[in-house]
Amino acid sequence: MKTIPLFLIAFLSWLSWSSALAIVPDDLGGRIEARVDGKPVTLPLLKTDIDADVQGDVAQVTVTQTFANPLNQAVHATYLFPLNETAAVNAMTME
């Protein structure tokens, strides 16, 4: 009987981790949009790295994203990233 509760605890903790590790839909991450000849173009996202430091109810999260420009020209583009209404950006660097 002692193994059943341990198994259930392990299984329930695995369920919470498996949902936390679920794939995030594309529309929830950052993206770069440009206009070429008046048509919207979304530049492909190649890689996303996330580093989070959570202390109490404050989280400092660094998101590093790499995009590709498959076009044969440089374009003026806009970076879009959804934020919760209580979140803030304190620094941003684009290269």
**pTM for this predicted structure:** 0.62
- Specify the pLDDT at position 86: 86
pLDDT at 57: 86
- pLDDT tens string 18-76: 444 445 455 557 889 999 888 999 999 999 999 999 999 888 889 899 999 999 889 99
Nearest by Cα to 65 from 53, 79, 52, 77: 79
Taking alpha carbons only, the member of 74, 73, 66 closest to residue 44 is 66
Residue 17: predicted pLDDT: 41
Whole-number pLDDT of residue 29:
73
